[in-house]
Structure 1
Amino acid sequence: MHALRFYFDFVSPYAYLAFETLPQALQGCSVQVSYQPVLFAGLLQHHGQLGPAEIEPKRLWTYRHVAWQARQLGVPLQLPAAHPFNPLPLLRLALACAPAGGLPNRYVCETIWRHVWRSGRAADDAETLAALTAGLAPQRDPNGADVKQALRAATEAAAQRGVFGVPTVEAGERLFWGLDALDMLRAAVQGDPWFTGPDWDEASTVPLGTVPLGASRRRRSEP
């Protein structure tokens, strides 16, 4: 049995599609999946990245791309009334539905995912959020200090682990990022010999060539 951890933020449509297609991608594999909410914005800040929605052409491409992918995958998708939105209340709600120290189950995550990506409503609308919360009946207060701290700690731990985006699936010591990495994840879980050869580790031996423009700009701006 392989223990997998699925890192996600409800703000990401790619994470939604990965969540919906993960059971099919891993069909027949002996796995146990845990679902770890993290704040995508916190990962971006840690690694010094811009989010897709912060680059206007990329934001528009993202919506077109996920609409196409949803169609190809047969996954219902309706963009929320506005995007991006503040996902903190939804992330905290998911964690509050689990006991202290635990993680939300798939039903809780599925309910919130579909609230965001199938209803076409504003994902952070106070009235619909209240109805969603009432329906899920969380075990803890989503606005409680313990829940907020749990989300902060999970995001920090994920960033330290090397998670830089969502969706990311952790399988042992390896991280698989993105919807398009699910086939690669399946191969790893099934024991594909490629993962025990030199190719996986070879990436870490490639020296950095030209310093990325953004990094050089950040250095020049430092005191």
Structure 2
Amino acid sequence: MKYIRFYFDFLSPYAYLAFEQLPQALGGLSYSVRYMPVLFAAMLKQHGQLGPAEIAPKRDWTYRQVLWLAHSQGIPLQLPASHPFNPLPLLRLALACAPEAEPGAPSRYVCESIFRHVWRGGAEAADVQRFESLVQQLAPQQAPQNMPDVQGRMQGEAVKAQLKKNTEEAMTQGAFGVPAFAVDDKLFWGLDSLPMLRAYLLDDPWFSGPDWNGVSQVISGMTRRR
């Protein structure tokens, strides 16, 4: 059995589509998934990048493409009322629901509930009342201290530290965006990497050949100044 770490941020529509597609994409294989919430913004900051929704023409294209992908794959998806939004309360809620035995990895049910909170129905993902309903539904095990409001309850030091740990772990694995899948010593990035991930899990010999590692030997012919 292969063990996969799935790094994601609820902010990302591609992560949502990958989450919904994963069981079908890997159907018939023996694997186990740990669902690992991370802060996508920290990855962007690490590499000095803007997110797709922060570049106006790319923003429009991103939304059109994910709506098309959802339509073509039969996955319900409606854009939230505003995007991007602050995903920290949702990420911390997911981690507050994680079991003690695996503090960085909430269940698929928890992740599914939060992803669908964001990407189904077209409502405001950060709405306080909707968030309160989600908290009541998921009943997080951890009870952060000294914060009376509902979003504050997801800001306990242990939960915040775990999100930072997950994000740093993902970047150590080589992740620069979401969704990303780490298995053995390999990292697969993006929704469109799911067929590649499946091939690896099926022991495709290509992954033992020169092409996987050979790309790092390509010399950069030009460096653009920022």
1:4-55 Cα deviation digits (max 9, x unpaired): 0100000000000000000000001110011000000001001111110110
Q: Give the 5 Å matches for 1:143-154.
A: 143-154=155-166
1:139-165 Cα deviation digits (max 9, x unpaired): 013221110111012112212221000
SS at structure 2 position matched to 1:34: strand
Q: Give the 5 Å matches for 1:22-101.
A: 22-100=22-100, 101=103
Deviation at 1:102, TM superposition (A): 4.1
Taking the aligned partners of 1:119 and 1:143, their CA distance within structure 2 comes to 27
Match of 1:181 among 176, 182, 193: 193
Q: Give the 5 Å matches for 1:1-223.
A: 1-100=1-100, 101-141=103-143, 142-211=154-223, 213=224, 216-217=225-226
SS at structure 2 position matched to 1:120: coil
Give the number of aligned pairs.
Answer: 214
Q: Which runs of 4+ in 1 moved over 3 A?
A: none
Alignment-derived partner of residue 148 in structure 2: none
Taking the aligned partners of 1:177 and 1:128, their CA distance within structure 2 comes to 31
TM superposition score normalised by structure 2 = 0.93
The answer as to whether partners of 1:99 and 1:140 remain within 8 angstroms in 2 is no
Deviation at 1:207, TM superposition (A): 1.2
Please list every run of 5 or more consecutive structure 1 residues that lacks an aligned counterpart in the other structure.
218-223
Taking the aligned partners of 1:151 and 1:179, their CA distance within structure 2 comes to 22
1:113-147 Cα deviation digits (max 9, x unpaired): 10100021110111100110011000013221110
- The residue type paired with residue 184 of structure 1 is M
- The residue type paired with residue 66 of structure 1 is V
**Identity fraction in percent:** 61
1:193-215 Cα deviation digits (max 9, x unpaired): 1001111111111111100x2xx
The answer as to whether partners of 1:42 and 1:155 remain within 8 angstroms in 2 is yes
Deviation at 1:62, TM superposition (A): 0.3
Deviation at 1:80, TM superposition (A): 0.4
SS at structure 2 position matched to 1:209: coil
SS at structure 2 position matched to 1:109: helix
1:56-86 Cα deviation digits (max 9, x unpaired): 0000000000000001111000110000000
Taking the aligned partners of 1:102 and 1:9, their CA distance within structure 2 comes to 13
CA 1:102–1:155 in 2, change beyond 3 Å: closer, same or farther? closer
The answer as to whether partners of 2:104 and 2:166 remain within 8 angstroms in 1 is no
SS at structure 1 position matched to 2:36: strand
Taking the aligned partners of 1:33 and 1:160, their CA distance within structure 2 comes to 19
